[in-house]
Structure 1
Amino acid sequence: MTTAAYTSHLPANAGWLTRAEAWLDHKGKGARIAATVLGFILFWPIGLGLLAYMIWSKRMFGKSCRSQTRHNTHAAWAAMKPSGNMAFDAYKAETLRRLEEEQGAFEDFLRRLREAKDKAEFDQFMDDREKRMKDVSEPAGA
Structure 2
Amino acid sequence: MLTKRTRPYWTQILHRDDGTIGAQHQTITEILDGDTILPGASISEPLPISGQDLDQVLGAATVAALAQVEALKASLTQCQAQLDQTNAALADAAQTLAEQRTQLEAAAGLATQQAQTIGALQATIAALQQLDKQAAPESE
Q: TM-score scaled to structure 2, two decimals?
A: 0.39
Greater RCO structure (CA 8 Å; 6+ sep): 2
Q: Which has the higher strand share?
A: 2
Q: TM-score scaled to structure 1, two decimals?
A: 0.39
User: Highest Rg: 1 or 2?
Assistant: 2
